[in-house]
Amino acid sequence: MITSNIKKIMEKKGVTIRKMVQDTRLADVTILRARREQISQGRLCTLEVMAEYLGCTIKDLFEEE
């Protein structure tokens, strides 16, 4: 199973959903879905934008259990 670390990373860096939406132009629903603990799918280009914005790698956004 793959678990999302996006919520933890955002909280650690003090990034709000609203700020991330404004800065990345990703839809708020996209960010909300990505913050869920379990993710079933995601576009690589979207994950790349999130990782770049949060200053980490795409791999850092998730962990495998």
Query: What's the pTM?
Result: 0.87
Contact 20, 61 (CB under 8 A): no
Residue 39, pLDDT above cutoff 80? no
| Helices (H), ranges, the chain | 6-13, 17-24, 28-35, 44-54
Residue 65, pLDDT above cutoff 90? no
Residue 38, pLDDT above cutoff 90? no
Average pLDDT, the chain: 92
Residue 19, pLDDT above cutoff 90? yes
Domains of the chain listed by start with CATH number: 2-60 (1.10.260.40)
